[in-house]
Amino acid sequence: MGKITLEKVTKSFGDVNVIPPLDLTIEDGEFCVFVGPSGCGKSTLLRLIAGLEDISSGAIKIDGNDASNTPPAKRGLAMVFQSYALYPHMSVRKNIAFPMKMAGVPQEEQDKRIAAAAKALNLTDYLDRRPGQLSGGQRQRVAIGRAIVREPAAFLFDEPLSNLDAALRVGMRMEIGELHAKLQTTMIYVTHDQVEAMTMADKIVVLRAGNIEQVGSPLELYRAPRNLFVAGFIGSPKMNLIEGNAAQQHGATTIGVRPEHIDITDSGPWTGTVGVAEHLGSDTFLHVHDTGLAETVTVRATGEVGFKHGDKVTLAPREDLIHRFDRDGLRVA
Amino acid sequence: MARAVTSRRKAINTAAAWTVGLLIFFPILWTILTSFKTEAQAIADPPIFLGFDWTLENYRVVQERSDYMSFLWNSVIIAGGSTLLGVLIAVPAAWSMAFVPSKRTKDILLWMLSTKMLPAVGVLYPIYLICIELGLLDSRAALVVILMLINLPIIVWMLYTYFREIPGEILEASRMDGAGLKEEILHVLTPMAIPGIASTILLNFILAWNEAFWTLNLTAANAAPLTAFIASYSSPEGLFYAKLSAASTMAIAPILILGWFSQKQLVRGLTFGAVK
């Protein structure tokens, strides 16, 4: 079981208030992603849950029990660090065995769990190596192995993929997803990468300056961002945020149109010149200037379109998919 | 940045380094040479460098007159005991300063170092009286404690520098893995800091071995280490340079050999943190 509840949790470092009062519930078995730009407090929040930092006020409950003053070792949570944080003086086997040794798990059971974890993570041939002899991806798998053998109430991941190269990152993302599907254990995952958040999460928590901007499933956030910050942060490429006359026509201070919700047609409100055309094969992203709007408009077209720099295009946003925001940046229903 | 070093420049540097090295080593070399001379040759004017009658006579006399092994044993106990005790106390101290520093940590470190600026003789009288009061005069236990306290600031400083190089996330990982404070220090921090701890032990063993002020003032016969052994040959009834040299050579030989075999560790230890 691993239901985690934060009640009016705050954290200050000296006079600096990093986390204002914050409430959040993470259900048992949920894959919850904390996402936000760097310095938004997402890692601090994770460290508060882990117990590596003390909360300044409020309460953290794990399965209903107040764990606010419980040391990290006793919270029953496992953590995977950005730097992997393996023990360099121990073999892979001993690294994985360490939490079980600390918990006093009998040797026979230890061996069984190590073998199972090594098999699941493709580490069987590397058990007697030191972490220094492994590649980044293998080290990350050892760190995950060390976390799963404890059978924790919840897993905490602190930007676990940011030290890996792009190809490995996609692979590990899927492995972690598979792991969650298999174990059905609560996972809390911190990242600054909204693609990771969108692809992995059951629930995304968008943070800015310690405040929760919005909580919801990936598609809820995509379809109905609560404010301009979430609108700009979720989705790739970024949503076009347009102010001025075009917005006023829709009765809003700002309107948002996702690049994939703009069609290139013969008749539409915006006609402009293609600046940069990014041909990805599957998609083409056009950055269109001089449409009469102050902002450059990004459009997602199919992969095979032949537009190039300097071409004239006419754009039509899909009216029913335009997001409207008021003067305070909040969504207008 | 790599700088082009001309071969001439390299030769000059090498020559300069050897000159300085030989200058520093010369007194030791002279002591060793003198120990093989007769008393007359030892004070010959002009001094004889190598062309003397090599003799082991001084070593025989020194062996006969005093029990070298008992002095040696005292030195080992005092230097070894004070170093080990110091490390046992300094590891947790350096741990807390390196990984859970408070606002005052820097001040405490400086304050500890400032005790090294106190002239030892300034506290000789009180410490002497305390030793009498506790019946610890001329005892190895008293010297173990006193030398440990004298070297503790250096041990804490050295370990602190080493520990600062260890990534905190690894210690946090051990905490998440269920390690308490004791297990964290024993199973994770100490094994990772072994090279640093080893050179700290080595350096402090040498410092304690060579310490003369306290060992001479607080011992008579029972606890006297090799420093007292040397001092006993600089007698007021006449200068016996050859025998004094033989005693000195015997006293510094163990530490010289230890230093020779561990010079890599020592150099690494002394330059750690300075060069990355």
Q: Hey, where are the domains in chain A?
A: 4-230, 239-325
This complex has an ipTM of 0.84
Burial of B62 (0-12, 13-18, 19+ CB in 10 A): buried
Per the structure, how many domains does chain B have? 1
Q: Is B237 on the interface with A (CB under 8 A)?
A: no
B224: in domain: yes
Q: Do B176 and A50 touch (CB under 8 A)?
A: yes
- Chains A–B, number of C-beta pairs less than 8 Å apart: 62
Q: Is A169 on the interface with B (CB under 8 A)?
A: no
Work out the minimum CA distance from B82 to partner chain A, whole angstroms: 28
pLDDT in tens, B7-42: 888 999 999 999 999 999 999 999 999 999 888 788
Bridge partners (DSSP) listed for residue A297: A288
B187: in domain: yes
Q: Do B192 and A89 touch (CB under 8 A)?
A: yes
pLDDT at B275 over 80: no
Collapsing DSSP to helix, strand or coil, A32 comes out as strand
pLDDT at B180 over 50: yes
Structure-token pair, residue B151: 């070297």
Q: What is the mean pLDDT of each run of 10 residues along chain A (333 residues)?
A: 90 88 94 92 93 93 92 91 91 94 93 92 92 90 92 92 86 90 94 92 93 94 94 92 90 93 90 91 91 89 87 92 93 86
Task: Name the residue in chain B with its Cα closest to that of A83.
Answer: B169
The span from the CA of B26 to the CA of B105, in Å, is: 42
Q: Which of B6-10, B43-47, B132-136 has the lowest mean pLDDT?
A: B43-47
Task: Name the residue in chain B with its Cα closest to that of A73.
Answer: B178
Containing H/E element for A221? helix A218-223
Burial of A99 (0-12, 13-18, 19+ CB in 10 A): buried
Question: pLDDT value at position B55?
Answer: 86
Q: Is B187 on the interface with A (CB under 8 A)?
A: yes
B161: in domain: yes
Distinct helix (H) and strand (E) counts, chain A:
9, 18
The span from the CA of A270 to the CA of A291, in Å, is: 5
**Summary mean pLDDT of chain B:** 86
Residue in A73, A88, A103 nearest the CB of B175 = A73
Q: Which domain, by its residues, includes B134?
A: 68-232
Work out the minimum CA distance from B174 to partner chain A, whole angstroms: 8
Domain A239-325: CATH superfamily is: Nucleic acid-binding proteins (2.40.50.140)
Q: Write the CB contacts of B5 (distance below 8 Å, at least 6 apart in sequence).
A: none
B168: in domain: yes
Question: pLDDT value at position B272?
Answer: 53
Q: Give helix A166-183 / helix A136-148 axis angle, nearest 10°.
A: 20
Q: Do B178 and A83 touch (CB under 8 A)?
A: no
Mean pLDDT of all residues in B79-90: 94
User: pTM for this one?
Assistant: 0.79
Q: Do A102 and B172 touch (CB under 8 A)?
A: no
The CATH code belonging to domain A4-230 is 3.40.50.300
B265: in domain: no
Q: What backbone phi and psi angles, to 5 degrees, belong to A78?
A: -115, 145
Structure-token pair, residue A133: 């002899």
B22: in domain: no
DSSP states along B51-108: -S----HHHHHHHHHS-HHHHHHHHHHHHHHHHHHHHHHHHHHHHHHHHS--TTHHHH
Question: pLDDT value at position B228?
Answer: 85
Q: Is B165 on the interface with A (CB under 8 A)?
A: no
pLDDT at B273 over 60: no
The end-to-end CA distance of chain B, in Å, is 14
B260: in domain: no
Q: Do A85 and B169 touch (CB under 8 A)?
A: yes
The span from the CA of A241 to the CA of B227, in Å, is: 82
Question: pLDDT value at position A31?
Answer: 96
| Best residue in A46, A52, A70, A190 for a mutation probing chain B (most B CBs within 10 Å) | A52
B54: in domain: no
Q: What backbone phi and psi angles, to 5 degrees, belong to B120?
A: -55, -35
